Structures are given as C-alpha cells and as structure tokens.
Amino acid sequence: MGITAFNSSAFPRVTPWECFTVEWFSVLAEDKRLLTGLRNSLFIGLGVVCLSVPLGLAGALMLTQVKERVRPWYYTIVISPILVPGVVLGISTLLFWDRVGVMFGASRDSFFYNGFFLTIIGQSTFIAAYTMLVFISRLQRFETVQEEAALDLGATHWQTFKKILLPFLAPAIASASVLAFLASFENYNTTVFTAISTSTITTVLASKVRYGIDPSISALAVVIVVLTLIGAAVHEILKRREIARSKLAAEVAAGNRLSIGKQTPWYFDPALIMIFLIVVAGVGTTFMAGTMGVEECKVAVKTEKQRATQERIKALRERNQAKRDVEAAQQAQEAEQKREEKEGRTGTENFNSIFNTDNLAPAEDAPETTGEPENDPSRTGTENFNSIFSTDNLAPKDDSEQENGEQDKKDEEAPRTGTENFNNIFDTDNLAPKSD
Amino acid sequence: MLNYWANYFTRNGIGVGMFLLAAVLLWMVFMIILPQLYMVDFSLRANVPPPKWGGEEHVYTLEHYKYLLYGSSKSAEQFNTIDLSVFGRTILAAVFVTIIDLCLCYPVAYYLAHVARGGWARLMIMSLIIPFWINEILRAFSFKVLFGTSGLINNALMAVGLIDQPYDFVRENVALYSGLSYAYILLMIFPIYNAIESLDKNQIEAARDMGSPWWRIHWRIVLPHAKPGICSGSTMVFMLSAGALAAPQVLGGPSSLWFTQIIYKAFNNSANWARGSAYALVLLLACIIFVLLMMRIFKVKLGEIAR
C-alpha cells in the first residue's frame, strides 16, 4: 500500500507501475478537509487523555479498596466497556447526553450537542478501561508499606499521594497516555456516531475511501508509518538505556566494575537496525523521486499508452477485416449448404437432435461441433456483429480517456464478452437436446 | 457501612478520597450504566421526531424488535429475512474470523514465547505491532489495494499462470474476512503469548524425553496451559469483528451487509434512532451470550478474560 503513494497513476495501485512521484504528498498537504479532521482528532485525543487517564487511575485505585464481596461486580462493570461493541457505546452516549441536555433545557448549540464533547466522553468510556488495566498491572508491584511509612512520618494524604504514589506510577501514566491517545486517534466505530457534524480524521478518511480515492491516502499511510517507525526506534533506544542504567546500578552496587563493557551496545540490536534501514530506504527513495524528472516520465508513459491503444485498435480492425473475409467465404458456403439441404439432411444435425431425443448419435455430435464454431453459419454472424460493435464503441473512448486506469481492463474485456455471449448461446442451443 | 466509609476516608484522606469517589462515580454511573440503561429505554419507545422525545407520543412499544423479527411492526406472518440473515451471517462470519485467527495465532504465539530469542523475538513483536498503529480504515483500504481486481494478488496469480482472469476477491468476501482477521490478530496473539510464556519449559522437555510426539505435547501440555489466553483472545476477536464497522464498509462486497451497517443506516439514512438502538441492543445481547458461552466452555472467569 505504501508503494502506491509513489505511483503517478490516478488510482492507488502498484501495477501497472507508471511513474515514481511525490506529488501525492503535496496533494495530501493541501487537502483542507483532511487537515481539519487531523486538527479535530488531535484535539479530541488530548481531551480523551485528560479525561481517561484520571478516570482509569481512580478506577484502579478504587479496585484495591472496595469490599471483597463487591469487587467482582465492580470489576465486571468497569471492564465491560472494552467488551461492548464500539457502535453500542457511541449510540448510548449520543442518546443519553441528548436526554441530559433536554433535561437541563439546553439549546441545540450547547455543549451537550457538541461533537467534541460527545466524542471525548464516548471514547473515554472504554479508553479509561484500557488505562485502568495499565495502572492495575503497575500497582501490583506497589508496596503499600511506603505509603504507611510516609503517613506515620507525618505526611498528609495529599502529600503521600503526590510524593509517593504518583512518582511510582509515572511510567504507567506515560504509557497510558500514549495508549489513550492512539486509541482515540484511530477510533472509528464510536466516533462515527458521537461526532455529529464534527469531522475527525477517521470519518474524513472513511468518506474518502468510500466515495472516490486517490493515492494521497497512501501518502498519508506512508507518513504515519514513518512516524511510527521513528517513534518505535526512539522507544527502543530509551528502553535499552534504562535497562543498561539499571544494570550498571546493580553492578556498581555489587561492587563489580569489570563486566560493564561487556553488554552489546544498542546499535547492534537487529530490530533497531531493521527499523533504521526501512526509514533510510523510505526517506532516500522519496528524496530521489524529487530529483528525477517526474514530468518527463509521465509524458513518456502517456505516449506509450497512446501507442499501445493505437496498436490495439489497429489489431482489432485487422481482425475484423479477416473475419469479414471469412464471413463472405462462409456465406458462399452457406448457400452451397442450403442447396445440399434440399437434397438430403447433411449439415442440419443440430436441429435433428432436438427432435430425435431417443437417438444418441446427435448428442455425441454436439461436443464436436463446439470445437469448430466456424461451421455454424448463424454463429459466425453473431461473432462478427459483436466484435465490430465493441471496437466502434471503444475507439473514441480510448482517445478521450487516456488517464483512466480502468480503461485498459474494459478494452480487454469487451471483445471477450462478445465471444462469451456467443459461446453461451451456442452452449444452450446444443445442451437442450442433451439434457432431454 | 458507615464504618467502612469512615475507614475509607481515614485511609485516603478527604481530598484524595473524594477525587477517587467522584471519578469512579462519574465513570461508572454517567458513562457506563446510565447511557446503556437509557439506550434500552429508548429502544423500547416509538419512533417520534426529537422534539417530542419524552412527551406523550413517546410511548413504550416493542415495534422495533418486532420489525427485526417480522419485517413489519404490525403483522407477524413472515420473518424479516433480510435483517435476520444479515444478523446471522455477521455472527457466523465473526465466529469464522475468530477460528481463523486462533489457527494463525497459536503457532506464532508459541514460536514467540518458546522458540524465538532476544533481538529477533523483539523484531517479530515489533513488526506485528507497527501495522496496528496505522489507522483502521487505512488498513482495510490497503487490503482493498491488495485484493482488488487489478490488485497485487490477482496480478501475481495471473503472472504465475494459476488463473487467467482476475478473481473478484471483494465480491466473494475473501477480502473482508482476511481484512478482519488481520485487524484483530494482535488481540489474539498477546493473550495466548502471555499464557504460553508462563509455561515451564521443563514440562515440554519431560514430555519429549518420554517419547511424546509433538502434537501430543501441544494437545496435552501447551494447549491446556494456554486455555485462558485462548478464551480471552477469542472473546475479544469475536466482539470486535461482530461490532466492526470500518472494515465491512470499505471491504464488503456489493451483496454483503454487516449488521453494524444496518444500525448505521438506521441512524444516518432512515433517521430511525429507536430502531437503530434496538438493533444495537440485540447485537450487544448476542455478544454477551457469546462471552458467557466461552466462559462456560473454557471454565474461566471474566476477570481472566479482560487482561
């Protein structure tokens, strides 16, 4: 898919490959609707992070405090949004807040009917459950003794919360925020119902994909993938550093300074090398494309296409001419056959088989005639008629719609359809007596 | 009870305690429970224009559920074959996608957990994760590029000579099923991976030493150990593919509808919100039944599923 972003063909595809181009990226950068959607999505994502991270944190802390008997019920309720289809969440949020709005007598342009507000609420419902799971797994390693010690030493509850619990949870908060943002950014099922008239990047993309598309979508995918790869690489490096630091600390603590140099440096990691290579290759090819003559290539492709179409038309004309000759010859033959018909029943085996159903011989003859269509005069007429018709129709189209990607296919298919029709007719005619 | 609350506030302090309480109440009551209940209520009411909601004409009725069953809210003579068959097909297809994912992911998860080592394992995991940071719709769309009549797969097959005419994968729903299976592969791999990883390797080696063939090792040792992971993975994949909207919209063939698409149409095209919410509720019920069934079959608790 990423490759299609660099093909100059108007429809996103890999084959036939036309020209290597970066123009779809500039098309992407000028797409107003997409950019608005992107801005809205970023805004909603931030809102979701701000709402769902505290909710998830509270939910996780509460889980350790509710009574043993209530805990399974509590857990079932807060975890259920993950398992409920996103469509259902979107609908219920939309309906409920509309009701609340009516209850407060709010007008239609108050925040109860605002796509931003509804989307943030709707997405947070289930994203908070994700963040809660992140916090729960971190909290399992938390020693409550620390809190108790702080309280015993005279710290207030707020101080304990701020100075002990929050620093301990900091990595979890960071990863929960990233998770929440990403989940919000790519959510579609819930957003499509709650976003009313606000367009987010996913709704814009969905409408783009459904009603006409060009490779600027692929260009967007390339941008996202590259950003993702860079993000992944940075994350990996940071993780490596952290591991190395903790190792170092452990070794220093153990009084062992000798083995420090032994660990493999981070740049030997195959995963990192792979990511690095992909990014370099991507950026390199993009840069190359800018320096190569895109326009020249395009013109070349265009003339090449024109030439191919011309040749095809020529070939079709020649074929038709040949067929006309054959037709003329056969008409002569037909006349001859008709003469013979008067004398005997030669050449009319097909018709005989309809009537002589109990006779097996004609049924055996039928497949033989399938192999030689030229023997049947009525069929030849149909074939010629069809193919002449299609070439006449196609020729002007080919000239006018050079750029249309689907055209090639039509060219190839149309004559075939003629033959197919012809074959089918023939089959049914012949098969009817057989089935009897 | 009073004792409990007193205890709660002495343990957390007033400020933090209030914050926790308020946040959890907001989330549980105003974001989870009340909206769902209100949707149930709404689906049981007549379809009237928004200004009359809550008014006298907004009466309780079963007409939307009747419509799903019979195709008209009055007569009960014939079943609503269109909507019901779409519903049945959606559920069956979701089960199908779940099975495909299970077959694909179990070997991969086992490989990741017990065979792959160090950097390569990380590379594999990363190459599994990275595609999932791309937008859902773009992912579905890339499958359309792959499976289209002039797409990569058709061209490759034609070049090799296996087929001489492009095969319409989209019409045959092949594209949809593979797109859905691919979309939720991670949700299947990671639970199974987590479950298998905790398996003691000595058990496998002991079985091998005793002369057990590889398939029996998996059947008797690895599979039973991975059961909670398989259960949670299957539940997630089923739920998400039954409730998917983007992939069927992009990849669905002209003759195939997904149940969520009918719900979407009820909201956007025919402006019948009540019917849409009734249908959504039916979908929700089907999903809940599936989860309960999985929990019964695999004998695991809900807490183990959502991890």
Domain boundaries, chain B: 80-305
Interface test with A, best of B25, B45, B135, B250 (most A CBs within 10 A): B135
Mean pLDDT comparison of A38-42, A225-229, B45-49, highest-scoring range: A38-42
Check residues A4 and B110 and name the one with the higher pLDDT: B110
pTM for the model stands at 0.68
Tokens 């639970």 belong to residue: B191
The model's pLDDT over A185-207, given as tens digits with 9 standing for 90+, comes to: 888 888 888 877 778 888 888 87
pLDDT of residue A127: 92
DSSP-assigned beta bridge partners for residue A20: A7
Residue A170 burial (10 A CB sphere; 0-12, 13-18, 19+):
exposed
For residue A36, pLDDT beyond 80? yes
Cα A89 from Cα A194, distance rounded (Å)? 9
Coil, strand or helix at B166: coil
Residue B187 burial (10 A CB sphere; 0-12, 13-18, 19+):
buried
Cα A27 from Cα A308, distance rounded (Å)? 29
Check residues B118 and A15 and name the one with the higher pLDDT: B118
Instruction: Give me chain A's average pLDDT, please.
Output: 69
Decide which of 3.40.50.10470, 1.10.645.10, 1.10.460.10, 1.10.3720.10 is the CATH code for B80-305. 1.10.3720.10
pLDDT of residue A372: 42
Q: By the CB < 8 Å criterion, does B136 face chain A?
A: yes
Which positions in chain A touch B16 (Cβ < 8 Å)?
157-158, 161
Check residues B51 and A117 and name the one with the higher pLDDT: A117
Q: How far is A396 from chain B (nearest CA, A)?
A: 23
Interface test with A, best of B7, B24, B144 (most A CBs within 10 A): B24
Alpha-carbon torsion (A98, A104, A109, A111), positive or negative: negative
Angle formed at CA A130 by CA A129 and CA A135, multiple of 5 degrees: 90
For residue A347, pLDDT beyond 50? no
Cα B193 from Cα B113, distance rounded (Å)? 6
Q: How far is CA B261 from the centre of its chain?
A: 15
Arithmetic mean of pLDDT, A296-302: 62
For residue A154, pLDDT beyond 90? no
Q: How far is CA B306 from the centre of its chain?
A: 13
For residue A53, pLDDT beyond 90? yes
Contact between chains at A65 and B11 (C-beta distance less than 8 A): yes
Phi, psi of B299 (to 5 degrees): 55, 50
Confidence of residue A298 (pLDDT cuts 50, 70, 90): low
The model's pLDDT over A356-369, given as tens digits with 9 standing for 90+, comes to: 444 444 444 444 44
The model's pLDDT over B113-167, given as tens digits with 9 standing for 90+, comes to: 888 776 777 778 877 777 777 777 777 777 777 777 666 777 777 777 777 676 7
Please tell me which of the candidates A79, A88, A210 has its beta carbon nearest to residue B249.
Answer: A210
Check residues B205 and A249 and name the one with the higher pLDDT: B205
The model's pLDDT over B178-233, given as tens digits with 9 standing for 90+, comes to: 888 888 888 888 888 888 888 888 888 888 898 888 888 888 888 888 888 888 88
Check residues A428 and A177 and name the one with the higher pLDDT: A177
Cα A304 from Cα A308, distance rounded (Å)? 6
Percent of residues, chain A, with pLDDT higher than 70: 55
DSSP-assigned beta bridge partners for residue A433: none
**What would be the CATH architecture of the domain defined by A31-211?**
Orthogonal Bundle (1.10)
Q: Which residue of B has its CA nearest to A240?
A: B119
Which positions in chain A touch B136 (Cβ < 8 Å)?
186-188, 202
Q: Which residue of B has its CA nearest to A188?
A: B246
Which positions in chain A touch B182 (Cβ < 8 Å)?
none
